[in-house]
Structure 1
Amino acid sequence: MLAEGRPMHGEVLVAGRAGTGDALVLTAPISFWGGVDPKSGRIADPRHPQFGKHIAGTVLFVPATVGSSSASAVLMELVHNGRAPAALVLDKPDAILLLGLIVAREMDWQTPVAVKLDATLHRQFDGHEAAVSANGLISTRNRQPR
């Protein structure tokens, strides 16, 4: 288990603002096109184990993506609509998906940082609030009572 407050270092894939939120650790690959509603930020694919969960404001841990050339547009819409994750943590870079962050940043929209961290380490963040710094440090603490 990850020690509270002890950071791990992820590789920054796309620079963006630091983010903090509940860790949403996906247990299956996801397609952003058709799998995530860009208006609500809800996982819309009924076959996905986290169907119905909202990604907005979370630190989203993605073990893999299901490719689609429209994924970048969906991520860009999530940013524009204020429904993007606070930060993205990917197992492997997905150039098409990350293009959405790059274009959003070029449009001067506030974009979350995206980092790479081996998927075998993602589960350690489950049940915690996670923080991802702009330089790729990922730390966690127990969720605060709401």
Structure 2
Amino acid sequence: MEIRCHRISGGRARGPALVTKEPISFLGTVDPETGEVVDPRHQLFGRSLRGKVLIFPGGKGSTVGSYVIYQLKKRGAAPLAMINIKSEPIVAVGAIISAIPLVDGVPASLLDLKDGAVVTVDADGEMVRVEGAD
């Protein structure tokens, strides 16, 4: 399956999907050292963002979240790429300063994708590819 999208932060990455229907506030929700979701109220609690294509509706919370994304990248604990339904400035700035591909403008039905599906994010080509999906 190929899905057109809108580029926020350029680049290309391929990896297993990690999907949540909940927005993410990177400050206080994600451990910047390990990439693990540490907020027990979040759907992804106990899961790691490291090496995943993170699919979520968008960000929320403090502008410090941009720096948390940067810390994740510097420590090798960041997602390979991120896909939002509608990105906002916190996640956008974090992705841009961290050189993490980020796209938005995808259908909300992408939030129904199963974890582990192999996803390619081609932000420069404004295309998301999901392998094995109809």
Q: Scaled by the length of structure 1, what TM-score is found?
A: 0.81
Paired residue secondary structure (1:24): strand
- 1:27 corresponds to which of 6, 21, 24: 21
Paired residue secondary structure (1:34): helix
The change in CA–CA distance for 1:93 and 1:27 in structure 2 (over 3 A counts) is closer
Q: Distance in 1 between matches of 2:110 and 2:43?
A: 19
Cross-structure match for 2:120: 131
Cross-structure match for 2:5: 10
Q: Distance in 2 between matches of 1:84 and 1:127?
A: 16
Instruction: Give the superposition deviation at 1:20.
Output: 1.1
Q: Distance in 1 between matches of 2:54 and 2:4?
A: 16
Cross-structure match for 2:101: 113
The alignment of Structure 1 onto Structure 2 pairs a total of residues equal to 130
Please say if residues 125 and 140 of structure 1, whose CA atoms lie closer than 8 Å, have aligned partners that are also in contact.
no
Q: Scaled by the length of structure 2, what TM-score is found?
A: 0.87
Q: Distance in 2 between matches of 1:127 and 1:86?
A: 13
Instruction: Give the superposition deviation at 1:137.
Output: 1.3
Computed over aligned residues only, the root mean square deviation of the Cα atoms, in angstroms, reads 1.6
Please say if residues 21 and 111 of structure 2, whose CA atoms lie closer than 8 Å, have aligned partners that are also in contact.
no
> Greater CA radius of gyration, 1 or 2?
1
Unaligned runs of 5+ in 1: 1-5, 105-110
Q: Distance in 2 between matches of 1:37 and 1:56?
A: 11
Unaligned runs of 5+ in 2: none
Paired residue secondary structure (1:67): coil
Please say if residues 9 and 138 of structure 1, whose CA atoms lie closer than 8 Å, have aligned partners that are also in contact.
yes
Please say if residues 58 and 91 of structure 2, whose CA atoms lie closer than 8 Å, have aligned partners that are also in contact.
no
- Residues 50-92 of structure 1, C-alpha deviations (whole Å, 9 max, x = no match): 1011111111001132221111000111111111111100111
- Residues 83-129 of structure 1, C-alpha deviations (whole Å, 9 max, x = no match): 1111100111211222122223xxxxxx2210002323331354411
